[in-house]
Structure 1
Amino acid sequence: MRRLRRALCLLALAGSTPTAWAQAEVAGAIAPTPDAPQSTDDSTAASPNGLLAPVLPPDMLDGALIYRQFRDGLADPDCQPQSTDAKWQRHFSHAPERLADREDDILPLFGYVVGVMRDADLPTEFALIPFVESGYHPGVSSSAGPAGLWQFVSLTARNHGVRMRRGYDGRLSPVDSTQAAVRYLKTLHGMFGGDWRLAVMAYNAGENRVLQAMQRAGVSAGNAHPTQLRGLSKTTTAYVEKLHALACSLEQAGDQPSWLTALQRPVPRLQPLELPSDFGSLSAWAQREGHDADQLAGLNPALSRMRSAPAGGSLWVLAPAPNGASPRISASDLIGGQDDGPNNGDADAPFLTRRAADDTDASHKVVRGDTLSTIARRYGVRTQQLLKWNKLKARAIIKPGMVLIVSDPSR
């Protein structure tokens, strides 16, 4: 029903603002086609349905594509009234407006974080953590100690490799802090059986507290539910409710034609770029490279007092990246090159188990949070191939415990 409502909204958009993007979305909503492999580094020449969309310069993205990537990456898209907390939905009701607001314009930074989560095969609920922690402001700091987009305290930041020294606080770098957050979330996601809810509770309270609560409840990563875990603070238990309510606020905003119209605009495609060792100042570098100096200063508060990279080290700036730009940090860089995939979700499995023991190069056991597109990317195949090899329909729903063929069975 929601898909039909969204299709009607897009039809209305197509009638008033007949952009190629709107036409592509409507066509995809009315006549679904097999899912195409998704990549956060997609060409803007194609929509997520594989149809033509407005062609933008290589340093730009269509805002509607960012929203589509976020929505497609949700682990828990169920937004029925009984599954969400009305109090937190009201609290975060402003979030869609902020994404649509050209003056505030957090959409490019949100798009960067969503892209990193998709590249790392993590649920896009995790991309909402900065909404809760910092309001998506990289320079926010608190008298209590937390700072930056992800609101790390200094001890946590250092424990996760964030550089902090005189004149430079890596917590205020969206590159350094996101690198640390993704690495930590990847570990937690694997530790807790691919359950995003347990992972964010551990992110908030620490994994040891959550593990102890699970032991007291007599449950493991495969069968635990947040409501079963006693002894955790109300702040920690509410963390899941906040993120889910926020996700639902954004999901339901997609039913509003005016909101979709506001998203249909070019926004900068942000990438981490390595600064030269003697860049002088962020403002001077921005002017030399043709960037908006004020925009870069707002995105990269950690660089406000830096004039050169440290000896033997590198500094990264988050900036729009045209063709020929310095290589960006990849997902494998963000998570240290490790495959900390979720465990098999069995009730008796150890907490720290990674992939199921019976997964082989030819098969994959589905865990909570998996999607066909993320499984396809993990094994370097196309989503259409997974559908064909497993005799699945284009809109098939996969469930934890299913075993999928992930290589050509005819070979």
Structure 2
Amino acid sequence: MTYHTTRRRILGFTSCLALMGSLMATTGNSQASPTPQRAFTDDSASQSAQYAPLPSNQTFWDALALEPRDAWSRLAEAFEWQEDVDQARVQHWIDHYRQSPRNITEITERARPWLAWITERVEERGLPGEIALIPFIESSFDPTARSHRGAAGLWQFMPGTGHALGLRRGGGYDGRLDVARSTHAALDYIEMQAEQWYEGDIELSLAAYNAGAGTVNNARSAALSRGQTASYWDLKLPRETMAYVPKLIAISAIIAEPEHYDVELPRIEATPAIAEVPVTRPLKLDEAAHLAGISRTELAELNPGLLGHQADPRHVERLLVPADSAERLVARLSSGTSRRAVAADGDDVYVVRRGDSLSGIASRHAVALTDLARWNGIERLDALQPGQQLTLSGS
């Protein structure tokens, strides 16, 4: 069966060709996961309708209540490839994952912050739910994962592929490690390749995600010459790519029917635990954490792409924050008093005034000019702007 995408936006034909040409030059998105592949479990992949007694003032439909979903059951509802579970290659990987039950808890706990949010992004695009599990086989859901071949992040982007997809590197930032940005890029890439080369076939696009479109296209040509349909299951591909889609379906099969496979997943809420907040000005993690009412450590863990611990809008479009802190952070960032309020909390933040110079600020606060510039990621000493916030310590 061929699975097709429904695009939510129109890509310009010229820009699409240019980008695909760049991506064709790469050797594939990732060649090896940095950690062993593992099995996964689920505690409530199915759900049933519950019917409450009908008070005299209620209708049948008023009384109908669905059992609350968790993230795994929500994900399972979006699966589209379960008819391929009987494939021999899929069964091989189901057996493989079931032999490593002690790895299940580690992987699924690591997925806790990200799973529901990524599932929601996949749902928005109308993609098969299995796509949300790619980080399981790519990085074991470790957003800081790096392979020995140079791939990085949840989605294991190689440097060239990441660059072609707009995942910036430099200035204390690596977009491949940015969970939000890399997730959007990965889904864009999968949809774009499916439409550009494979008439919407997502399985073929996933093969290209792993091995490169050139490799897959050559394998398709060979399959057609043999009189085959040139679907993913007909292709002769590198060993890792031959296993790529079967691994994904095997994991999804276990999640769809956890009791059948005698496995169990930790409960994760179906509602995303994180939210994106636009970055509209240079923002130190210390300040952002203060405004959001969370710890700096928690914010840093949600934003591993910020290698320099500062979000600069020239490089970083959005921060990920706990969902219940997002509204507060947005409100305080947009408030004209938020900066003064932060400065008033202590002496470690200074709000630049008109006429200030970096050397003058350093002198008044008894810190070295070079330290002050380094702590704030300032390269041009004459580039201060009124209202800009400077940290006065390296902590």
> Deviation string for 1:110-168 (max 9, x for gaps)?
11111111111111221111111111111111332111111111111001111111321
Write the distance in 2 (CA, Å) between the matches of 1:97 and 1:194: 37
Pair 1:229 & 2:232 matched:
no
Does structure 2 conserve the Cα–Cα contact (< 8 Å) formed by 1:273 and 1:325?
no
TM-score (structure 2 length as normaliser): 0.60
Q: Report what 2:206 is aligned to.
A: 200
Within the candidate set 226, 232, 246, 2:251 is matched to 246
Aligned twin of 2:273: 269
Verify the 8 A CA contact 2:116 2:272 in the aligned structure 1. no
Please report how far the alpha carbon of residue 91 of structure 1 lies from its aligned counterpart in structure 2 after TM superposition. Answer: 3.6
> Aligned equivalents of 1:187 and 1:321: distance in 2?
30
SS at structure 2 position matched to 1:242: helix
Match of 1:127 in 2: 132
| Cα offset, 1:101, TM superposition | 6.7
CA spacing shift, 1:79–1:201, aligned 2, 3 Å: closer
Q: Which aligned pairs between 1:99-138 and structure 2 lie closer than 5 A?
A: 104-138=109-143
Cα separation, 2, equivalents of 1:74 and 1:96: 23
Partner-residue secondary structure (3-state), 1:92: helix
User: 1:318 maps to what in 2?
Assistant: 320
Q: Distance in 2 between matches of 1:144 and 1:302?
A: 19
Q: Can you give the 5+ residue segments of structure 1 that lack an aligned partner in the other structure?
A: 1-9, 14-20, 31-49, 55-63, 328-411
Give the equivalent residue in structure 1 for 2:292: 289
Aligned-residue sequence identity (percent) comes to 28
Tell me which residue corresponds to 1:27: 49
Q: 1:176-187 alignment to 2 at 5 Å? A: 176-187=181-192
Deviation at 1:93, TM superposition (A): 3.7
* Other structure's SS at 2:114 match: helix
Question: 2: distance between equivalents of 1:104 and 1:201?
Answer: 27
Other-structure match for 2:65? 51
| Cα distance, 1:276 vs structure 2 | 4.3
Task: Supply the RMSD in Å over aligned alpha carbons.
Answer: 3.7
Please tell me whether residue 298 in structure 1 is matched to residue 270 in structure 2: no
Distance in structure 1 (CA, Å) of the matches to 2:274 and 2:289? 14
How far residue 256 of structure 1 moved from its aligned partner, in angstroms, is 8.0
Structure 1 Cα separation of the partners of residues 187 and 99 of structure 2: 26
**Cα 1:216/1:179, change in 2 over 3 Å:** same
* Correspondences of 1:321-360 after superposition (within 5 Å): 321-322=323-324, 324=327
When residues 155 and 94 of structure 1 are mapped into structure 2, their CA distance, relative to the original with a 3 A threshold, is: farther
Q: Partners in 2 of 1:315 and 1:80 — Cα distance?
A: 39
Whether the 8 Å contact between 1:130 and 1:149 is mirrored in structure 2 is: yes
Contact 1:108 1:267 in 2 (8 A): no
* Partner residue, 2:174: 169
The offset of 1:90, in angstroms, is: 3.6
Amino acid at match of 1:51: A
Change (3 A) 1:194 1:72: farther
Q: Give the AA of the match of 1:150.
A: W
Whether contact under 8 Å (1:79, 1:248) holds in the other structure is no
Give the distance between the partners of 2:100 and 2:112, measured in 1 at CA.
11
Give the direction of change, closer, same or farther, for the CA distance of 1:304–1:51 in structure 2 (3 Å limit).
Answer: farther
CA distance in 1, matches of 2:246, 2:293: 42
* Rounded Cα–Cα distance in structure 1 between residues aligned with 2:267 and 2:95: 21
Q: State the Cα distance separating 1:265 from its structure 2 match.
A: 5.1
Q: Distance in 1 between matches of 2:48 and 2:106?
A: 24
TM superposition shift of 1:208: 2.1
Q: Is the 1:95–1:246 contact (alpha carbons within 8 Å) kept by the matching residues of 2? A: no
Q: For the residues of structure 1 that align with 2:95 and 2:263, how far apart are their CA atoms?
A: 20
Residue identity matched to 1:143 = H
From 274, 279, 284, the counterpart of 2:283 = 279
**TM-score, scaled to structure 1:** 0.57
Q: Unpaired segments of 5 or more residues in structure 2?
A: 1-41, 52-63, 331-395
Residues 29-75 of structure 1 deviation map (CA, whole Å, 9 limit, x = unaligned): x9xxxxxxxxxxxxxxxxxxx73556xxxxxxxxx332233112112
Whether the aligned pair in 1 keeps the contact of 2:72 and 2:270 (CA below 8 Å) is no
* Matched letter for residue 271 of structure 1: A
Q: In structure 1, which of residues 147, 150, 174 is the aligned counterpart of residue 152 of structure 2?
A: 147
- Structure 1 residue identity aligned to 2:65: L
C-alpha displacement at 1:302, in angstroms?
Answer: 1.0
Structure 1 residues 263 and 141: alpha-carbon distance in aligned structure 2, compared to 1, 3 A threshold = same
Q: What does residue 26 of structure 2 align with?
A: none
Q: Which amino acid aligns with 2:303?
A: N
2: CA distance, partners of 1:152 / 1:118: 22
